[in-house]
Amino acid sequence: MRQDVKNTIGMALEGITVSHRLFYILSLSIFLVGCAKDSSNSSEADPSDKTPDSSLMAGQGIMVGELTDQSAFVQVRLTQGDQLIERDLPGVPGVVKFTLSQGDTQIGDAVTVQALETYDFIARSVWDGLSPGTEYTCKTEIGADENSLQPGPTATFSTLYGAELNEPLSFVVVTGMNFAKFHGDDRIDLEQHKIENNRELPEPYSGPDKHLGYPALNTILKKKPLFFVGTGDNVYYDTPDNPRAETVKELRQKWHEQFRQPRFISLFAAVPTYWEVDDHDYRIDDGDNSGDYKPTPETARRMMLEQLPIAAHGDENVKTYRTHRISKDLQLWFTEGRIYRSDNAAPDGPEKTIWGEEQKEWLKKTLVESDAAFKILISPTPMIGPDDLRKTDNHTNVGGFQHERDEFFDWLNESGVAKQNFYIVCGDRHWQYHSIHPSGIEEFSSGALIDENSRPGRLPGDPKSTDPEGTIKQPYSQREASGGFLEIQLTPQSETGSSKLAFLWNDEHGEIQHEEVKTAD
């Protein structure tokens, strides 16, 4: 028994008769046992509903996003307690005070931002004028108003190195974070799942740490990457499909239940983020911008910019495709695959596009202008695969968008960019692979983050694949369904050798499944 409890009991028993003492001890024992039982069960019940906590909290922690060598966004959502209420985590209005420091030195003035219902009670601060390759700490205070502030969550992050600095670094790429499959949602259609995933619905995760969320997040945290990339399918509006999320309230609920998991909170307090969206966190499976159903394309875009720290709140003109110079040796391109696309059902040809003309011209222009030793295009969907023959929504699909893919690959070779250590990294597909197109372009698939959302892949030569002739080479393809992530490590040039880029496929627990190393010419 704790010493402070012993002292309290001793003080209470002074001056009480023996019979009364016995009654007092018995009553207190029953009370303490009940408290202990409540305490031990509190974590196990998570993420199920609990008794509502009316206190103002930051129940989803803190998130840093869209780093450059001189800037970052930091956001906090104010919530009613930190437990789900009817599958959701309600928000509350208030203010968040952000203070940025480098070591013991505060950087500029603190910034106080209102958490308004308009933006789902998310307060987002914008920090500019930072120094490249520098570690910062962002502390927060939260309250109903500026007169009732209390300590909030804290984040640490390092800015990008930019075009002038070259340091060793690593980052991770993920997809397929399906909350319903991991936790077990009995509303999932079993037959539909089998058709779409080539396997029966796996059993939900049953480990004693289930309440903490996805095990791979803890693995990533231990690796201390410079940043985390979510390539899309970050939440699933359409799992379950009946009922699926359609209204703003229902769409927001998907993000709330996802990001309030303790392992997300711990990870994002230490690792900043970049985000893309794909079909499941845009509208529906393989969805485009056609169809009179909810969410509309306008609402889908609004949710992306509201929930994810990609741009300042209220910046309606922001382009969701963008490029970032990570270091002297490395530049990344994030493409937008949903907002600008043609209808999936349109015949494939010169007019059909996923990217849109403006994005394509921007992509080609910035690739040619870059002098980075390694160039990586991070796409929400695959460009090489192979993928399932039945689909028509990505660059690998027959009747989909192969014409645009082939045209772009031709340009990569004609322009010389293909020979400048250019690689594609993709999400979307629920299995890990490394594929080489007949044109020589290479693609690295991250695979699904969690076991419960993984599936067997399509191999070159499979008649049910987009490559029935087997023209694609695959140095690696995951043989057994398993969750995990793609880790990318950059080792700059030294006196003894050239710069190297390593692609490492991890399972959920950090066991390396395969490794591919590229050397800068």
Q: What global pTM score does this model have?
A: 0.90
Residue 100 has what pLDDT?
A: 98
484-to-216, 337, 453, 505, 510 alpha-carbon distances in Å: 6, 23, 10, 7, 8
Domains, the chain, ranges and CATH?
Answer: 57-158 (2.60.40.380), 169-520 (3.60.21.70)
Q: Other CB atoms closer than 10 Å to residue 145's CB: what's the count?
A: 11
Give the whole-angstrom CA distance, residue 216 versus residue 209. Answer: 12
Half-sphere exposure of 15 (CA within 13 A, CB side): 2
Q: What is the pLDDT along the chain (521 residues), one digit of tens a residue?
A: 433 333 334 434 344 443 344 334 334 343 433 444 343 333 333 444 554 456 999 999 999 999 999 999 999 999 999 999 999 999 999 999 999 999 999 999 999 999 999 999 999 999 999 999 999 999 999 999 999 999 999 999 999 999 999 999 999 999 999 999 999 999 999 999 988 888 899 999 999 999 999 999 999 999 999 999 999 999 999 999 999 999 999 999 999 999 999 999 999 999 999 999 999 999 999 999 999 999 999 999 999 999 999 999 999 899 999 999 999 999 999 999 999 999 999 999 999 999 999 999 999 999 999 999 999 999 999 999 999 999 999 999 999 999 999 999 999 999 999 999 999 999 999 999 999 999 999 999 999 999 999 999 999 999 999 999 999 999 999 989 999 999 999 999 886 689 999 999 999 999 999 999 999 98
Do the beta carbons of residue 432 and residue 459 sit within 8 Å? no
Query: What is the C-alpha end-to-end distance of the chain, expressed in Å?
Result: 66
DSSP structure string for 294-354: SSPHHHHHHHHHHHSTTS-TT-TT--S-EEEE-SSSEEEEE---STTPPPTTSPPSTT--S
Give the whole-angstrom CA distance, residue 433 versus residue 387. Answer: 11
Residue 10 has what pLDDT?
A: 41
Residue 54 has what pLDDT?
A: 63
Residue 494 has what pLDDT?
A: 81
